[in-house]
Every structure is written in structure tokens, then in C-alpha cells.
Amino acid sequence: MNRRHLLTMLGVLGISHQIKAATPTAKPQAVEPLRLSDSVWKKRLTADQYDVLRDEGTERAHSSVLNTEKRAGVYHCAGCDLLLFTSEMKYDSGTGWPSFFSFLPGAVLTKTDFKLIFPRTEYHCARCEGHQGHVFNDGPQPTGKRYCNNGVALKFVAKT
């Protein structure tokens, strides 16, 4: 089932599909929306990136080299290059996906996801609305959050 089918089904069931801004901890970055057609996204992204970013898929655990990335640097959205996280926000959650305890202000939007029946908080890139992952309340301090990200949805740029 792809994203459109799910949203249609949720609409029929009367379940809201509203994307809202996540609460940033500092002044948000200015973000201009990027809206492209499916055909342009398919040309711009690999098949795996398209599945995750556009159809809200999930990559297999432990499949991303970014899960074990330890260098200093920054993480951008693989779809539109928006800066989402810094290496200082990353930690090893033991889940098999790159995890972060926070995000850069204004970088992500959230919505409620009912794909597994029970509600979860899904987050997306604030610019292209590309699916990144889910946020959970079992992360480290100072936020207590775990932004569990699909590595294929990210681009890492090492600090030089």
C-alpha cells in the first residue's frame, strides 16, 4: 500500500492526516517548500530513496552505513538537501537506524501515523515533506526523544 492509498483510506475512516510543525528549541530556519511531481522525484531519487521519502517506506534495520557514522558533520535531507541534524545530536540507540535526540529548528514536520494500527508520530522534512522516520519518547536527555531516521533519507556531509 502506498502513501496515497493509505491517506485515502484514513480519510474514508475520518482519521486526520495533518502535517504540523514540530516544536523547535531555538529560532527556526526559513524554509521554502519544494513541491515536485512524482516523475521528477523518481528521476531525482534512487528507488530506495523514493520508497522511503515519497511512499513513507522503511529501510531494513542495520542496512545504512549512516547508522555507524561517527565523524563530525551534518545530516541533510536526501531529497532536497535541507539541513536536519548535526553529529552532536546523533547517538547509538541500538535499533539499527541512525538516531538523533533533537533536530535543527524548523527542519521537521510531524503527523500521526496509523500504519501499525496504534498511533505513532512520523516526521518529515519541512522543505520537501520527505518521510524521514518516527519519533519516540525513549531517547536520551536533554530531550528524551529518539528521532529514528531512515539512513537512505539522509545525506551526511563530514566536517572539514
Residue 71, all three cell numbers: 565523524
**Active-site residue (options: 77, 80, 125, 148):** 148
Active site residue 148: yes
Q: Tell me the three state secondary structure of residue 153.
A: helix
Distance separating the N- and C-terminal Cα atoms of the chain: 42
Max Cα-Cα span within the chain: 51
Which are the contacts of 116, defined by CB distance < 8 A and separation ≥ 6?
none
CA–CA separation, 116 vs 131, rounded Å? 16
- The 8-class DSSP code of residue 99 comes to E
Which are the contacts of 59, defined by CB distance < 8 A and separation ≥ 6?
48, 52, 97, 150, 151, 152
Q: Tell me the three state secondary structure of residue 6.
A: helix
> Catalytic residues, which ones?
148
